[in-house]
């Protein structure tokens, strides 16, 4: 069986996007017209349907009753962000979690990357989960619009967390009450180091061998975790840059291309369009040479 959940959100109250619903329409066409998915096995949530509870419930439905040999796809197109991670035993060097931003985003009850990992690691070892995230994983809050000769206006798919999210977390807060002498420069430097560590020392490769860290899940993300993903006007229509370029590469390869070659060619075409984001492939090394959704 092949099943999919597609989520696209344009209708954010304070920072609307333009291309996310188009992304869902495009991915749905790819799955049902070229890759053997039945329309009744593809669940779609767009705009006001894409609440946190609905996304969580549909993710649980996606992984329910799957068996060895089944393929499941989760494609998310919308805003992303980061929040503090103060879990005991966390391996996140910068002490931040990447999150998805449902239409009813509540900063005190977010959908974290770790939540997705738990859901997809619950499936039997013979199931093939594919996750495609066309959103920002960046700490930057820039939402400026840009223009160049190849691509029209675009903006980041990133939502800046309220300052309270960080002020209420002991890792990122600084106590300056009473006297400026209480400002701890050492702790502040540590916090800055955590924030920058991933950017400086993370792999330069766009292909990451996760070993067993995320089970058999293949993740294709729109950018590195310190970058932003573009919501762009491309060829007379708005799309996420990752989703549209993914479609171009799949079409040019007649939908017969390995994950490694796919992400390599996607990054090559990103440069052609003058996008600075670098999409990532993260999975076991054993999957690098397996064809996309095969």
In a domain, 74, yes or no: yes
Q: Parallel, antiparallel, or unpaired: how do β-strands 71-77 and 2-8 relate?
A: parallel
In a domain, 271, yes or no: yes
In a domain, 198, yes or no: no
Supply the range of the domain harboring residue 250. 2-160+204-287
pLDDT in tens, 255-286: 999 999 999 999 999 999 999 999 999 999 99
Rounded to an integer, what distance in angstroms lies between the CA atom of residue 28 and that of residue 124?
25
* CATH code for the domain in which residue 85 is found: 3.40.50.1460
pLDDT tens for each residue of the chain, 294 residues long: 999 999 999 999 989 999 999 999 999 999 999 999 999 999 999 999 999 999 999 999 999 999 999 999 999 999 998 888 765 444 444 567 889 999 999 999 999 988 998 999 999 999 999 999 999 863 222 222 333 434 555 556 666 666 665 455 554 444 444 433 333 444 444 444 444 444 444 445 899 998 878 889 999 999 887 788 999 999 899 999 999 999 999 999 999 999 999 999 999 999 999 999 999 999 999 999 999 998
Helix axes of 259-272 and 241-252: crossing angle, nearest 10 degrees: 120
User: Which are the catalytic amino acids?
Assistant: 79, 136
In a domain, 52, yes or no: yes
In a domain, 49, yes or no: yes
In a domain, 141, yes or no: yes
Q: How does DSSP classify residue 72? A: E
In a domain, 174, yes or no: no
**Other CB atoms within 10 Å distance of the CB of residue 268:** 11
Rounded to an integer, what distance in angstroms lies between the CA atom of residue 272 and that of residue 274?
5
Identify the sign of the CA torsion 278, 283, 287, 291: negative
Count of structural domains, the chain:
1
Please tell me the predicted confidence (pLDDT) of residue 137: 62
Please tell me the predicted confidence (pLDDT) of residue 205: 80
Please tell me the predicted confidence (pLDDT) of residue 266: 97
In a domain, 237, yes or no: yes
């Amino acid at each position: 069986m092949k099943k999919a959940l597609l989520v696209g959100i344009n209708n954010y109250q304070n920072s609307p996007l333009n291309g996310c619903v188009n992304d869902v329409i495009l991915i749905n066409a790819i799955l049902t017209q070229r890759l053997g998915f039945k329309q009744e096995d593809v669940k779609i949530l767009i705009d006001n349907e894409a609440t946190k509870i609905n996304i969580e419930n549909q993710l649980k439905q996606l992984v329910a009753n799957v068996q060895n040999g089944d393929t499941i796809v989760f494609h998310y197109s919308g805003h992303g962000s980061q929040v503090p991670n103060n879990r005991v035993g966390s391996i996140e060097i910068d002490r931040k979690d990447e999150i998805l931003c449902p239409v009813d985003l509540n900063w005190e009850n977010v959908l974290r990357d770790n939540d997705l990992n738990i859901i997809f690691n619950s499936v039997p070892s013979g199931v093939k989960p594919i996750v495609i995230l066309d959103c920002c994983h960046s700490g930057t809050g820039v939402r400026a619009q840009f223009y160049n000769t190849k691509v029209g206006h675009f903006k980041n798919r990133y939502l800046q967390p309220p300052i309270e999210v960080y002020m209420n977390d002991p890792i990122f807060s600084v106590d300056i009450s009473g006297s400026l002498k209480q400002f701890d420069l050492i702790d502040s430097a540590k916090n800055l180091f955590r924030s920058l560590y991933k950017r400086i020392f993370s792999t330069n490769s766009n292909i990451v061998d996760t070993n067993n860290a995320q089970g058999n899940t293949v993740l294709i993300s729109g950018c590195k975790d310190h970058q932003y993903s573009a919501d762009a006007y491309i060829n007379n229509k708005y799309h996420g840059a990752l989703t549209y370029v993914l479609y171009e590469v799949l079409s040019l390869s007649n939908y017969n291309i390995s994950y490694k070659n796919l992400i390599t060619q996607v990054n090559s075409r990103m440069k052609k369009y003058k996008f600075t984001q670098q999409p990532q492939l993260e999975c076991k090394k054993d999957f690098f040479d397996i064809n996309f959704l095969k």
